[in-house]
Structure formats: structure tokens, C-alpha cells
Amino acid sequence: MSRHPVRIAPSILSADFAALGAAIAAAEKGGADLIHVDVMDGHFVPNITIGPPVVKSIKRVARVPLDVHLMITDPDKYAEAFVQAGADMLSVHVEVLPHLHRSVTFIKSLGVKAGVVLNPSTPVVALEEIAADVDFVLVMSVNPGFGGQKFIPKSLQKVAAVRAMLDRAGNTSTPIEIDGGIDLSNIARAIAAGVDIVVAGSAIFNTPDPVAATRALKDAAAVAS
């Protein structure tokens, strides 16, 4: 059982980039709680997406907070630019940050929620020393880089392990986010494992009706919570 109302964060990675305003409006109409923005640099992941100017434009039209997921090799260098562009939540990958405590402290000092992200092959213990300091944890349930990949089932055990670790650190209300391959077939299992924020890209934007698809995930989350 999840402790908080589960939030749905549609990822615009699978939306039509020429019509992001319409995509965001549709997701919000369907009940989106956040908009998940995937930033890729072609170094940390083998794909390139968007930067601060696009986030700034999205911020003008979005009514819900922006959850910006940095899949870049140098998040310390760019965090401030994304906050200025309008990020409300900013998540950075553990795999690229040797001074994670400094990075998380810096992001929090910018006045936004600081999240840390674990790739599928990164062990939970990598967060042990920072567990009391993070605002949220993002568990990747695919290898980052692309939308529409297959969900990795072992991610559910990882979610449960992260929950236990956060609780041990006294961070009992810190939400866990899951990202990758989530759809109506597995959302209930993710929530049962302890997920509080559900990212979904292709399950929303690769359908003919993103409003209905968002609403269906939202309803499924409500039933599972």
C-alpha cells in the first residue's frame, strides 16, 4: 500500500515535439499531477532531446509542476539553468556524480525538490549515505535513453528496497518515482511495491487519446493506492 496519493507524471518524450502545448494540455485534462521532462545530452545516454529554452516555453503553458529528469553527464553545470527555466523538481543520476551530497545540497539551495536517480544496474546502496537528504528517489525501470522500452520487473524489488532504506533514514514521507515501461498492465504492481509517482510516456502519448490514457492510469492508480 502506498502512503501518499499516487501522482501521475506524463513524459512528453513520446509526444509530438511540434505540439508540446497541446500534449501538455491533454495530459492535464486527463488528470496529470506533474509533467515529466526528459533531458538527454547524447553522452550519458545515446539520445539528445531538449534544453533550458524548451523547458522555459513549456513552463509558460503548463499548469502543473515540471519534473525535470537530467540524463546528462554534467548536471552540476546545468542545474541552475533548468531551475531558472522553470523546473520544480530536478533529478540527477547517481552514476555521474562523485560528490552527490554537494550536488543535492546545491539543487535544494536553488529552491526546488532534489531527486536522485538509479539506473537499473546501480545498486540501492549507492544512496545509503544520502538517504536522509533527498527530496525524492527515481528508480529507472528501463535503461534511460528512449521511450517505449520494456519494463524490467526486477525494478519492483528495488523500489521496495529504496523504501526500506528511506524509512531507516527517517525519510518516511520521501516519495519514490518510477520511470520506464509503465502502463496499465503493471502500474498496480508498481504502486504495491511502494511507488508514489508514476512516469508514463508511450502509454499516454503513443495512443490515439492521451486524455483518456492519462485518466485510465490515474484511475488505476487510485484503485491500487
The amino acid occupying position 171 is: N
| CA trace torsion 61, 109, 158, 40 (10° rounding) | 50
Question: Should residue 73 be labelled a site residue for ligand DX5 when binding is judged by CB under 6 A?
Answer: no
Which of ligand DX5, Zn ion, none has residue 201 at its interface (CB below 5 to 8 Å by kind)?
A: ligand DX5
Distances (CA, A) of 45 to 38, 72, 105, 132: 11, 7, 25, 28
Distance of CA 134 to the CA centre of its chain: 14
Question: Should residue 135 be labelled a site residue for Zn ion when binding is judged by CB under 5 A?
Answer: no
Active site residue 16: no
CB 112 within 8 A of CB 88: yes
Least CB distance from residue 45 to ligand DX5, whole Å? 6
Q: Out of 33, 38, 183, 196, pick the active-site residue.
A: 38
Binding positions for ligand DX5, 155-194, rule CB under 6 A: 179-182
Question: Should residue 199 be labelled a site residue for ligand DX5 when binding is judged by CB under 6 A?
Answer: yes
Least CB distance from residue 132 to ligand DX5, whole Å? 26
CB 71 within 8 A of CB 45: yes
Select the residue interacting with ligand DX5 from 6, 13, 39, 104 (CB under 6 A).
13
Which of Zn ion, ligand DX5, none has residue 148 at its interface (CB below 5 to 8 Å by kind)?
A: ligand DX5
Spatial separation of the C-alpha atoms in residues 163 and 171, rounded to whole Å: 9
Question: Should residue 137 be labelled a site residue for ligand DX5 when binding is judged by CB under 6 A?
Answer: no
The catalytic residue positions are: 38, 179
